[in-house]
Amino acid sequence: MDFEFTEDQKMFQAMVRDFCAAEISPHAAEWDEAEEFPYDVVKKMAAAGLHAVHFPEEYGGSGDEVTFSIATEEISRACAGIGVVYLVSLGLGMYPVVMHGNEKQKRHYIPRVIDGAIVAFGLTEAMAGSDVAAMETKYARQGDHYVLNGRKIFISNGAEAEFVTTFATKDKSLGYRGISAFVVDKGTKGFSVGKLERKMGLHPASVAELIFDDCKIPVANMLGEEGKGFRVALEGIDASRVSIAAQALGIAQAAYDAAVTYAKERKQFGAELARLQAIQWMIADMATEIDAARLLIYRAAWLTKKEGHAPPKEAAMAKLYASEAAHRVCHKAVQIFGGYGYTKDFAVERYYRDQRITEIYEGTSEMQRWTIARQVLGVK
């Protein structure tokens, strides 16, 4: 078994790491404090070719899911808020188009994202989180248009997205079978952004309410077959779990790096913290958890590339373990910093806040365990 990246992947990783060191890391703290969306850096990322990663070559893309995971990890290591903007725009928001869009839709939307367009994924509602069948946003056909009515909440990139892939039901009594998928462009009459959430972390990225009030879109904007929207959403979420795991890994790696450096420099009781057994054991646990998470993530990414779709069990395992491992790593990093770790003067405070959401979005840890158990036990 070969666990090494290819030479091309290593070169790509080095390029992304250099880009992040120059354009993202120096500004991460100020973006976090200002809760400000950095449009300029998104444009620079697109110009550097980072937004072409893992899209099909025939639409101007390059790379694969492994390359996408590498980019997501490195960007999130520099700034997790930029990481979520990136992974939602290229991943979750676009999987419905890439997997289920027709040729015209792909040729229209994929090049826009490669050029730097920001995308959102509108699924969650006030009464429909993990229980997607409880969705209340409705659609009805009127001639050559569909009319959407409803509200989505907690939508990453919601305020900045140039278009959103979203979901609505024709008849709530049909449950999953009534749901269809659509793409709605910014500026469409009846489509607006509502409340912006104030969040614990990921401050550079918006989380917004999306409002559809007699929002009229062409029939051509339906993604996939009518009544198959639940499948479109589920396949997108399955695939996106690997990128969320990579985001969590990037945060954990940043926290670990900071803790190791600090432990070597900070002195207590006449010696560096790194010489104290209690600190050594924490560092050892952190290193082990990061390695285990990395192996799960890149196995899932490699299987996605090999099989052409995300394997549900392995993707859920990667997301579950990486997000919870990142929690433990960030907790220990703050502990190693002591009182300083609780202040905004040191980045571990930000890593701790940014990490927490990785255990919640794209399926909570509880939903990941449910997915894994069903795959292992063969039950539906």
Spatial separation of the C-alpha atoms in residues 302 and 69, rounded to whole Å: 10
| Residue after which a domain boundary falls, among 228, 250, 279 | 228
| Residue after which a domain boundary falls, among 61, 79, 114 | 114
Contacts of 107 (CB under 8 A, 6+ apart): 59
Q: Tell me the pLDDT tens digit for each residue of 125-155.
A: 998 888 888 899 999 999 999 999 999 999 9
What average pLDDT does the segment 212-232 reach? 96
Q: Tell me the pLDDT tens digit for each residue of 147-199.
A: 999 999 999 999 999 999 999 999 988 988 999 999 999 999 999 999 999 99
Q: Tell me the pLDDT tens digit for each residue of 11-24.
A: 999 999 999 999 99
Residue 359 tokens, joined: 């255990």
Amino acid at 345: D
113 pLDDT above the threshold of 70: yes
Contact 346, 340 (CB under 8 A): yes
Query: Residue 294 sits in which domain range?
Result: 231-377
Q: Are residues 247 and 369 in the same domain?
A: yes
Element (H, E) at 54: none
How wide is the angle at C-alpha 42 spanned by C-alphas 74 and 46, nearest 5°?
A: 85
* Residue 362 known to be catalytic: yes
pTM metric for this prediction:
0.95
226 pLDDT above the threshold of 80: yes
Q: Are residues 96 and 124 in the same domain?
A: no
Q: Are residues 235 and 224 in the same domain?
A: no
Give the number of domains in the chain: 3
Q: Tell me the pLDDT tens digit for each residue of 234-270.
A: 999 999 999 999 999 999 999 999 999 999 999 888 8
Q: CATH no. for residue 329?
A: 1.20.140.10
CB atoms within 10 A of CB 47: 11
Q: Are residues 259 and 372 in the same domain?
A: yes
Query: How crowded is the C-beta side of 332, counted as CA atoms within 13 Å?
Result: 26
Write down the catalytic residue from 73, 209, 289, 362.
362
Its sign, for the CA torsion 236, 194, 131, 175, is negative
1 pLDDT above the threshold of 80: no
Asked whether residue 2 is domain-assigned, the answer is: no
Q: What is the pLDDT of residue 21?
A: 98
Q: Tell me the pLDDT tens digit for each residue of 92-104.
A: 999 999 999 999 9
Q: CATH no. for residue 92?
A: 1.10.540.10
63 pLDDT above the threshold of 90: no
DSSP state for residue 125 in the 8-state scheme: B
Q: In the predicted model, what is the mean pLDDT of the chain?
A: 95
Q: CATH no. for residue 136?
A: 2.40.110.10
Q: What is the pLDDT of residue 308?
A: 85
First to last CA, the chain: 33
